[in-house]
Structure 1
Amino acid sequence: PTISLVAIPIVSYSVARWTPGRMARSVIVIGAIASVLGPLTWFGVYASNPNADILFWGACLGAVLTPYAIGRRSREVAESRTRQVHAAEERYRLLLAEREQQNRLLEASTRAMIARELHDIVAHSLSVMIVQAEGGRAAATRKPEVAAEALDTIAETGREALHEMRRIVGVLRAGPNEEPASYAPAPTLEEIPDMVARTSDRITLVVQGNPQPVSQALALTAYRVTQEALTNFLKHAGSEATAVATLTYSARSITVDVVDNGHGVDDPTDGGGNGLRGMYERVSSMGGSLAAGPRDDGPGFRVHAVIPIGDAARNAAREGIQR
């Protein structure tokens, strides 16, 4: 034995640490054979006995196996750490992709909500103003006081629509360093009779039951559905048609039923269908159901919406998510 034998554990460790797969095991085979052949050359030079032979063989084999085991363990630890880093990177990429997808969904939902609000505000306000303007023009010569009332209604409706438009546009324009836009109170159930009265005198409102305290979102849904149904009546039913809007309040739901006797339209999606689509989205988001289409019992159009309250709303929404 000489000092150069120090290279044996270094080589054994290096092969085990840096050589992949089964190739690294060749160092064990070569080292085991050399652990026997090497001491045999020493026996001819040094006096030996069986105990010394076994000691030499064990020491030489240990100089191969121990560094090999340390090297393989170091390689396994490094590979495990690399796999963990790759897994963490993949999780981070998935998290970024999921966050981006959530942002896109939130952006799409916000755009749809703003589009619904703008459509409901503009379509209803313009329809009311047109109807009032036509009525005021017809009554201008015979009943000036009626024409004056119509002009007042047009002015009030225009101011309300302008205020709502400014509120929504203010929300869109507000930046991180700007003051938050002022929010006007959202329409409530108690405001529906006044909205119906201002819409047209050809609409009769029937209220069954008493309004219960509900969430702002649910009250806004009932208000907008009624408003959009009346807007469709003004746009499509004709100047001689009449409508009956029935609001039914119960412990479990709010029912909105708007029926007219006009000629209506053959295709309920006339004009792009944004109004009906918005009503469906609003009612569905609250776990309710909506049916809109021509009447079966005569001429006209009917909008029937059922919006659940409280536990019924949560159960309906949960069932909708499961479907």
Structure 2
Amino acid sequence: MRVWRRVLVRDALLAVLVAAVSLTLFTFWGPGARGVPVEGLRDPDALGVVLVLLACVPVAVRRRWPLTGLCAALVPETALEGLGYGTGLTGAAGLVMLYSVAAYRGLAMALGGLALSLALYATSAAAGAGAPAAWSDHLVVVVALVAVWGVGRSLRLRRAYMEELRDRAARLERARAADRRAAQAEERARIARELHDVVAHHVSVMTVQASAARRVLASDPGLAGEALTAIEETGRMALTEMRNIVGVLRADARAELGPQPGTRDLPALVDQMREAGLATGLAVEGAPGPVPAGVDLAAYRLVQEGLTNALRHAGAGATARVTVRYEPHELDVRVEDDGRGAGDGGDGDGRGHDANPQEGGARAGRGHGLVGIRERVALYGGILSIGPRPGGGFEVRARFPLKDGQ
């Protein structure tokens, strides 16, 4: 409403200006205005002034009712012509209204306004009040009408084009915002998986080592001290990995980020599990070749999660074995153990606390490690199998496709 008030005020001021110009032309430069009579034309008088003013009034509502205003402006202009006053340049109001119809209404209505203006002018010219005008004069008037109409249509098309550009920019901005939110959600999920893998593994190792230290603290303080030292080293490793993971979230762009672990770090992981009390072996089959960084990290996390589950749930005296097989178009990673499980308790059946209940008959629990592994493997088009082994124990295996031998 406030916008319309401002529009009406501007149009009212324009109507006043058009009226002032039209009256000046009609009174001082019209036919017979300087005392020189023109044959066939009436001198300016009060009636003529009223008609000129009536022709200018519709300009005040030119944007709200342009076609109606055009019709209202053409009536007094036609009357001026019919009564023999001769409008001359006093037809400015009609031109303004014709422009307004072309600029603020659709093509059909705009063409109707142009046809109406041309038809009324042709009718007035045919009536021929006063001396007949040359054909060139009529041509000038027709060209002026068409030019004013064309300017109005051009401005309307330009406004429509600019509006379309603004809408497109708004749509692109919304699309970018949606993509940004999706990327942020994906990054949060990735960081959550990484943190879970790091925390679950290292905390599990520290828990087992702390339990062993507590059992031998009284009988063998030296062995308990070694276990506590291992706990300290494991804690430092966990902190280092967590810093590397969450460093990307820090505002300081100079945060030191270390490389992500991969299959090259499996020997150190196996040694760590041995120190924690799980007899673990590592076998590498085939010629190691270049592996994509994402697949390399996913393979490492799979081994880490599989060994962590074996350490927590395989039971005393269990052994684990990690097998990494490099094939021309596939990377095969397997973690298997021969444990019978620690029995029910804790957070459910430990052998399947992270597994899908439909995979190998394992019962689901509350963990998320193997769920995250499943997402990692699926992300790179791999095949994951999780479940108990036929001869006892548990197995986690993933096969990652390598494109073009990589």
Once the 2 structures are TM-superposed, how far is the Cα of residue 189 of structure 1 from its aligned partner? 1.8
Residue of structure 2 in register with 1:286 after alignment: 380
Query: 3-state DSSP class of the match of 1:306?
Result: strand
Residue of structure 2 in register with 1:243 after alignment: 320
Matched, 1:31 2:124: no
Alignment partners' CA distance in 2, 1:255 and 1:286: 13
Q: Which amino acid aligns with 2:173?
A: L
Once the 2 structures are TM-superposed, how far is the Cα of residue 139 of structure 1 from its aligned partner? 5.1
Q: Is the 8 A contact 1:288 1:308 kept in 2?
A: yes
Residue of structure 1 in register with 2:269 after alignment: 195
In the TM superposition, 1:1-323 aligns within 5 A as 2=31, 4-7=86-89, 10-11=92-93, 13-19=95-101, 20=105, 21=109, 22-37=112-127, 39=128, 41-42=129-130, 56=134, 58-59=135-136, 61-138=138-215, 147-172=224-249, 174-175=250-251, 178=252, 180-200=254-274, 201-261=278-338, 262-263=340-341, 264-265=351-352, 268=355, 270-292=364-386, 294-295=387-388, 297-311=390-404
Which structure has more RCO (C-alpha within 8 Å, separation ≥ 6)?
1
Extract unaligned runs of 5+ from structure 1: 47-52, 314-323
Q: Is the 8 A contact 2:282 2:323 kept in 1?
A: yes
Moved more, 180-189 or 106-115: 180-189
Query: 3-state DSSP class of the match of 1:7?
Result: helix
Query: 3-state DSSP class of the match of 2:87?
Result: helix
Q: Which amino acid aligns with 2:269?
A: M
Query: 3-state DSSP class of the match of 2:240?
Result: helix
How far does the alpha carbon of each residue in 1:254-302 deviate from its partner, in whole angstroms, 9 at most, with x for none? Answer: 211122343423772545442122212322333323232x236254432
Moved more, 112-121 or 229-238: 229-238
Quick one: structure 1 residues 68 and 291, their matched pair in 2 at CA, closer, same or farther if it must change by over 3 Å?
farther
Q: Which amino acid aligns with 2:175?
A: E
Aligned residue pairs, count: 296
Q: Which amino acid aligns with 1:195?
A: L
- % identity of equivalent residues: 33
Q: Which amino acid aligns with 1:207?
A: V
Quick one: structure 1 residues 76 and 291, their matched pair in 2 at CA, closer, same or farther if it must change by over 3 Å?
farther
Query: 3-state DSSP class of the match of 1:187?
Result: coil
Q: Is the 8 A contact 1:257 1:302 kept in 2?
A: yes
For the pair shown, the structure with the greater C-alpha radius of gyration is: 2
Once the 2 structures are TM-superposed, how far is the Cα of residue 251 of structure 1 from its aligned partner? 2.6
Quick one: structure 1 residues 273 and 130, their matched pair in 2 at CA, closer, same or farther if it must change by over 3 Å?
closer
Using the size of structure 2 for normalisation, the TM-score is 0.64
Alignment partners' CA distance in 2, 1:259 and 1:139: 29
Extract unaligned runs of 5+ from structure 2: 1-29, 33-85, 342-350, 357-363
Alignment partners' CA distance in 2, 1:312 and 1:72: 69
Q: Is the 8 A contact 2:114 2:146 kept in 1?
A: no
Moved more, 279-288 or 68-77: 279-288
Using the size of structure 1 for normalisation, the TM-score is 0.79
Quick one: structure 1 residues 266 and 110, their matched pair in 2 at CA, closer, same or farther if it must change by over 3 Å?
closer
Once the 2 structures are TM-superposed, how far is the Cα of residue 142 of structure 1 from its aligned partner? 6.6
Alignment partners' CA distance in 1, 2:381 and 2:253: 35
Quick one: structure 1 residues 124 and 296, their matched pair in 2 at CA, closer, same or farther if it must change by over 3 Å?
closer
Residue of structure 2 in register with 1:319 after alignment: none
Query: 3-state DSSP class of the match of 2:281?
Result: strand
Once the 2 structures are TM-superposed, how far is the Cα of residue 307 of structure 1 from its aligned partner? 2.0
Once the 2 structures are TM-superposed, how far is the Cα of residue 97 of structure 1 from its aligned partner? 0.8
Quick one: structure 1 residues 5 and 161, their matched pair in 2 at CA, closer, same or farther if it must change by over 3 Å?
same
Quick one: structure 1 residues 147 and 207, their matched pair in 2 at CA, closer, same or farther if it must change by over 3 Å?
farther
